[in-house]
Amino acid sequence: MDDRFLVDRVFTVIVVVIAIIAILPIFHIIAYITWRGLPIVIDNGLSFFTDVPAAVVAEKPGGIAPALAGTAFMTITATLIAVPLATLAAIFSVEYPNHVLTKAVRVTSRSLLEVATILIGMLIFVLLVLPTGRFTALAGSLALAIVMIPYVYTYAELALISVPKTYIEAAYALGMKRAQVIFYVTVRVARRGLARGIAIAVTKAMGETAPLLFTAFGARSVIFGGPFEPADALPLMVFQFIQTGYDNWRALAWGGAFTLLVLYLLLFIIARILVKEVRY
C-alpha cells in the first residue's frame, strides 16, 4: 500500500533532477559571462561604452562604442522593417486562413525559421553588397530583418488566432467593419502575444553574428559611419575579438558579451512592463 507513495516520491525526485539538469546550462552561461565580463565593465567605467577599441599594443582595452552603435542602428532599423511586414502578414493569414497567399506565407515562414542565418547574409551579399560594391550598415539591417520576420510572424499569428471568437463576433455585431474589428479588438486583445514575438525577434537579431559577416562586415576605428558605411555589432565584435591572441581585445569581447546579456534582460523586462496582459 505504501508502494505508491514511494513510487510518487522517486518520480518526483527524478523529474526535479531532470529539470535542474535542463536549466543548468542557462545559469552556467549567465554566471560565467557575468564572472568574466562584469569586472571588465567595472574596471573601465563609462569609457567602456563610449570609446573605440584600443590598439592591440595598448595597456587599456578601450571601449565597445562601435559595436554598441552598430547593434543599436541595425536592430532598430531591422525591427522597423520586419515588425510591420510580419504583423500585417499574420493579420492577413488569420483573416483569410484558406487563401493561397496564406498557405504560401506559412510555408515560407516555417522554412525561413530553419534556414541557417549565414545563408540570409549571403543572400543580401549577392543582392546588395556585390552590386553596390560595399559593406553597409543598411545591408546588415536588411539581413537582420529577414532573420526577424518569421519569428514575428509565427508569434503574431499564434497570438491573433488565440483571441476568443466571441469578442470578434461582438465587434461585428456592433456594426464594425473588418479593419475596425482588427484595429479596435483583435490586435489589442492579442497585444501581449504580439509584444512577446517582437521581443524574441529583437533579441534574436541582436544576438546574430552570421548574417552580418558579409553585410555589415564590422568597423573598429569609428563609432558609427552612417547607414552606407560598414558597421560593427556586439556579437560580431565578440566573435572576432575572442579569437585574437590579444588580452585587451579578449577583455572587450567578454565585456561585450556581458553587455549583450544585460540588454536581453532589459528588453524583456521593459516589454513586460509596457505591455499589460489582457485578462478575460
Partner 1 sequence: MVSPAVETRELRVRISGRDILKGVNLRVPEGAITAIMGPSGSGKTTFLKVLNRLIELIDGVEVSGEVRVFGSNIFDMDVYTVRRMFGMVFQNPNPFPHMSIYDNVAIGARINRVARSREELDRIVRWALEKAMLWDEVKNRLRDPPWRLSGGQQQRLCLARALAMKPRILLLDEPTANIDPVNTAKLEEALRALRRDEGMTILLVTHMPHQAVRVSDYIVMFYDGMVVEEGPTSEIALNPANEITRRFLRGEM
Residues of this chain that interact with partner 1 (CB under 8 A) are: 98, 164, 166-177, 180, 184-185, 188-189, 191, 278-280
Q: How far apart are CA 128 and CA 137, in angstroms?
A: 11
- For residue 108, what are the CA distances in angstroms to 4, 31, 111, 215? 50, 38, 5, 23
CB of 98 to partner 1, least distance (A): 8
CB of 183 to partner 1, least distance (A): 11
Measured from the CB atom, is 222 or 271 closer to partner 1?
271
Measured from the CB atom, is 124 or 185 closer to partner 1?
185
Helices 65-95, 137-161: inter-axial angle, 10-degree rounding: 40
Measured from the CB atom, is 91 or 234 closer to partner 1?
91
CB of 279 to partner 1, least distance (A): 5
CB of 276 to partner 1, least distance (A): 9
Number of other CB atoms surrounding residue 173 within 10 Å:
8
Q: How far apart are CA 142 and CA 211, in angstroms?
A: 9
Return left, alpha or beta for 118; rule: phi > 0 is left, psi -120 to 50 is alpha, else beta: alpha
Measured from the CB atom, is 95 or 229 closer to partner 1?
95
